[in-house]
Amino acid sequence: MILEITRLTKRFGGLVAVSDVDLAVEEGAIHAIIGPNGAGKTTFFNNITSIVPADAGRIVWCGERIEHLSPQAISAKGIARTFQNIRLFAYMSVLDNVLTGTHNLYRSFVWAAITRNGRYRREEREGRELAMALLEKVGLAGQRGEYARNLPYGEQRKLEIARALASGPRLLLLDEPAAGMNNAETAELVRFIRALKADGLTVLLIEHDMKLVMSLADRITVLDYGVKIAEGSAQEIQNDERVIEAYLGKRRA
């Protein structure tokens, strides 16, 4: 298991957003987290990436506990993410957004930046090649000079994924990547995520689009009111009584 989470809990005042959740993500798998609105899915992501640290529980990444680390340290460990409410650097070019994603790969600092020494030029060239390759992959190479804010919604989602991938992660957390996408775009996204898996990346994703989840996920975890109510393959989840109940309400006796 590349990521093992045990009894993770997060409270906001009296509300328990995430309650004693266990989760194990297998390396190279696509693992989906589903659940009704307000089930605590995004909070769970924020706990993993330490943007909103959990109150209790442990998060073990590649055999090492990371729940006490800062968001930037967690990024450096190889966990990258996108956000449900897109958080691009709006007044930055598309290319610079992705280049910022490479921040951890390089070490050029003040002196290197001022003198443009050999290391700076090499890192900058490498970073640009990597960023352009990623933009090529998500089909945004032509808009590299555009401000991120000027992209249409669907392309902003793609750019966010490219930016996350630029850090060279081993685990990618996608928070509702298909939100606001049309059918064609979603189909393209499915292909894209499959290709990432083929490249050996582990993906943990939150999604409401059940067609996407069922066709992609190797394993599905269902949260409801912060509690894990089911876990299994797509087949198992579709037939789980409690899942149906959570989504559709209790069946009349």
Partner 1 sequence: MAERSRKVRLLAGIVLAVILLGFPRVVGNEYLMRIATMILIYVVLASSLNLIIGFTGMYSLGHGAFYGIGAYVSAILATALGWPFWLSMPLAGLFTALVGAFLGLATLRLRQTFLVFGTLAFGEIVRIVIMNWPELTRGPMGIPGIPSPVLFGFELASSTHWYYLILGFTALMVFIIARLYRSRVGRAWVAIREDEVAAASMGVSVFGYKVLAFTISCLIAGLAGAFYAHFVSFISADQFGMSESFLILTMVALGGTGSIIGPIIGAIILMVIPEAFRFLAEFRGVLYGAILILVIVVKPEGLAGVKGLFTPALGAPRFPWLHRKEGAK
- Rounded to 10°, the helix 153-165/118-138 angle is 140
Token pair for 143: 């808009």
Strand partners of residue 191: none
Q: At what angle do helices 153-165 and 183-198 cross, to 10 degrees?
A: 10
The only residue of 15, 56, 90, 195 in contact with partner 1, by rule CB under 8 A: 90
Q: Which is nearer to partner 1, 50 or 186 (CB)?
A: 50
# chain residues binding partner 1, by CB under 8 A: 42
Q: Is residue 70 near partner 1 by the rule CB under 8 A? A: yes
Q: Is 47 in the site for partner 1 (CB under 8 A)?
A: no
Both tokens of 200, joined, read 């050996």
Which residues between 130 and 159 bind partner 1 (CB under 8 A)?
145, 149
Provide, rounded to whole angstroms, the least separation between the CB of residue 241 and partner 1: 35
Helices (H), the chain: 41-48, 71-76, 94-101, 110-115, 118-138, 153-165, 183-198, 210-216, 234-238, 241-248
Minimal distance, residue 244 CB to partner 1, in Å: 33
Q: Which residues bind partner 1 (CB under 8 A)?
A: 46, 49-53, 70-72, 75-76, 80-81, 83, 87-92, 96, 99-101, 103-104, 106, 108-110, 112-114, 116, 120, 123-124, 127, 145, 149, 163, 167
